[in-house]
Amino acid sequence: MKALITTKVGMTSTITESGAVEAITLLQVEPNVISQLKTIDQDGYTAVQVGAGQAKLGKAQAGHFKVSKIMPKSVREFRVEEITEDLKVGETFNPEIFSVGDTVSATGISKGKGWAGTIKRHNFHRGRKTHGGRSYRRPGSIGSMYPQHIFKGKRMAGQMGHVQVTVRNLTVALVDVENKVIGLKGAVPGPRKSTVIIKGVK
C-alpha cells in the first residue's frame, strides 16, 4: 500500500541538470500508523484505516484508537485489494515507501475564494461598455420560455473553491527521510498547513 497522509508546507524551486527551473511542493510526513483493518467479512469491503498527527480526542474516539496506541489528528481509509501479512494494526509508514521518480496523485481541499460572479468563477465574457451597453458583469439570460424552469447545474454566481481536488500524475522529486519531507513536481491543491493525501499510481 503506497499512500500517505501529509501536511502541505509550501513551495520552492530547484534547477535541473539541463538548467530549467522546476516548481516543487513540499509535504511534511508525520508517522502514519495503521489504526484498523477492514475486511469483507466484517465490514463489507477491504480497506486500511490510517491515522497521522496528534490531537485531543473524546472518549469514544480514544477507545477506538486504543489498540493502535495513537491519538491522531487526521484519519483516512485507503481501499486495498487484500490484507497482506505486512499490514498490521500499529504498523508505521514513513516517506521511504516512495522513491524519486514515482508517479503519484495528490488530493486536498482547494483554497476557498468566497462568493464569486460568473466572470471569475466560469470565465464568462463581460458585456460591452460602449453604445449604450449596461450589462458589464451580469450573467445575462439564464433560461428560455420553455420548459419554464432553470435546469440544475446552470453556471451562475456562487461559492468558489473549498472543494476536494485531485491532481494526478505528479512526479516525486524529493524524498528526505531524515526531515520527513516529500517533494512533488508542480502544484498541489490547498493552502499551507492543509492535509494532502498522496497515493501511488500503478
- The residue among 24, 22, 81, 75 whose CA lies nearest residue 49 is 75
pLDDT at 84: 84
Kindly indicate the confidence band of residue 8, based on its pLDDT and cuts at 50, 70 and 90: very high
Range 84-99 burial, b when 16+ CB lie within 10 A, else e? eeeeeeeeebebebbe
Distance CA 106, CA 195 (A): 10
Average pLDDT over residues 28-40: 92
Q: Is a pLDDT exceeding 90 seen at residue 16?
A: no
Domains of the chain: 3-111+165-200 (2.40.30.10), 113-139+153-160 (no CATH)
Please answer whether residues 162 and 194 qualify as being in contact, where contact means their C-beta atoms are separated by less than 8 angstroms: no
75: pLDDT strictly greater than 90: yes
The bridge status of strand 103-109 relative to strand 21-28 is: unpaired
What residues contact 48, with CB distance under 8 A and at least 6 apart?
1, 34, 36, 37, 38, 77, 78, 80, 83, 87
Q: Which pLDDT tens digit goes with each residue over 131-172?
A: 999 899 999 889 888 989 999 999 999 999 999 999 999 999
Secondary structure element (H or E) that encloses residue 58, with its range: none
Reduced to 3 DSSP states, what percent helix, strand and coil does the chain have, rounded to the nearest 5? 10, 40, 50
- Residue 161: other Cβ atoms inside 10 A: 14
Q: Which of 72, 158, 77 is nearest to 117 (CA)?
A: 158
DSSP string computed for 112-169: P-EEE-HHHHH-PPPPPSSTT---SS-------SSSSSPPTT---SEEES-SEEEEEE
Task: Pinpoint the alpha helices (H) of the chain.
Answer: 40-43, 59-64, 118-122
Task: Report whether 185 contacts 12 (CB < 8 A).
Answer: no
Is it the case that residue 202 has pLDDT exceeding 80?
Answer: no
pLDDT of 70 reads 86
